[in-house]
Amino acid sequence: MDDELFSHDEKAHYARHFLVKDFGTEGQARLKAGKVLVVGAGGLGCPALMYLAAAGVGNIGIVEDDTVDVSNLHRQLLFGVNDIGQPKGAVARQKLLANNPYVDIEHFNQRIDEGNVLAYVRRYDVILDATDNFATKYLLNDACHLAGKPLIYASISQFEGQIAVFNLLEASGRRSTNLRDIFPEPPPAGLSQNCGEAGVLGVLPGIVGLIQALEVIKILTGLGEPLANRMTLFDALGMQVRNVTVRHRASNPLSGKQPSIHQPQVIEARCALAVGKQYCISPQALEERLRNGEPLQLIDVRDGDEHLAVSLGGINIPLGELSRRLPQAVITTDTVVYCKSGVRSLKALHAINAIIGEGRCRTLTGGLDAYVAAGCQERLNTCQELP
């Protein structure tokens, strides 16, 4: 059988797998027949992709529309300094095939959204969530449940990680728990941060991404006990690993007794839940005002090195220094505060309103990420010095 399935070169590549008891040729054959979609080729996606491709997963899809940035290199080890500015997915595909040319890898240079998520999910056996934002995580969670596909979930921040297997078909015929059994809704803006906001120890996504890859291999081969109906909590500083039981929630709007979610839906940015809509400005509205030359004070509340790398201009006042350095101009000039994804700028808005009162300040909804996604990146510039 293996003579038909594996070439001489493949047998050499997978030689150590063939030696593993209860894995062997049959396990390798199941990997070769497997189809895995990895959404995101960043901190989690890079290690997961490296080991899934090297292990011989036969068909791998990569959904990633971002480009390599110098700030990625401390944790995204598929990339080097010569790759900066290049499409992540395309670079990842090339390097993965250099390690294992016996697998098929396809790169999709776009973002997952409510219009395409089901089409992507239905093409693959297992979906691996390597994203860094709640909107996409909930979109993937809901689509995987609706399509009946297992989802390998993970989330990381600073020194901690979470991993779980959602929506796995059990012997009873029931699907295992999903993200909405743990967190019915995403947290409001301002209560959570992604790695671009809070930072992350570089080695952490490597560890968590490898655990995700392991869960994929277990599911494809039928070996071991997948992390279903549980969530693993990993504390890198204390080197502690805890498993928490996850139970089905009767009120789950996706899979409970009276489900109300029947199609994947984008979770709207929840800026309006934390502040009134009048205190938010969309990327398109900001671009129009800037294009028209309207008087506008821009304040970048990211750290100085982030501002130096790329910005919309204006002045740079890190969030922690805002109360001390807030310019007098904010009192008399319409002001927009911005950051990478809108989390820090929302906090800054609250701080500014507390200092000078409400009225003249707005936060850029979704931050620079949303600004670029809206096609307004031409205005971005590299600053030479801080104001």
What is the per-residue pLDDT across 262-314, written as a single tens digit (0 to 9) for each? 998 877 544 434 455 667 888 888 988 888 888 888 999 988 888 888 888 88
CATH class, range 34-245? alpha beta
Is residue 339 part of the annotated active site? The answer reads yes
pLDDT value at residue 193: 52
pLDDT value at residue 135: 87
Question: Domain-by-domain residue ranges, the chain?
Answer: 34-245, 271-379
**Using CA atoms, how far apart are residues 266 and 365, in angstroms rounded to an integer?**
15
| CA atoms in the 13 A half-sphere facing the CB of 174 | 10
**Using CA atoms, how far apart are residues 193 and 212, in angstroms rounded to an integer?**
21
DSSP state of 239: T
**Using CA atoms, how far apart are residues 31 and 17, in angstroms rounded to an integer?**
11
- DSSP secondary structure string for all residues of 274-330: HS-GGGEE-HHHHHHHHHTT---EEEE-S-HHHHHHSB-SSEE--GGGHHHH--THH
**Measuring CA to CA, how many Å separate 109 from each of 73, 169, 277?**
20, 30, 32
CATH number of 271-379: 3.40.250.10
pTM over 0.75: no
**Catalytic-role residue among 46, 271, 280, 339:** 339
pLDDT value at residue 330: 66
Residues of the chain under the 50 pLDDT cut: 1, 189-192, 269-274, 383-387
What is the per-residue pLDDT across 361-373, written as a single tens digit (0 to 9) for each? 889 988 888 888 8
**Using CA atoms, how far apart are residues 7 and 13, in angstroms rounded to an integer?**
10
Is residue 361 part of the annotated active site? The answer reads no
**Catalytic-role residue among 46, 195, 271, 280:** 195
**Using CA atoms, how far apart are residues 356 and 326, in angstroms rounded to an integer?**
10
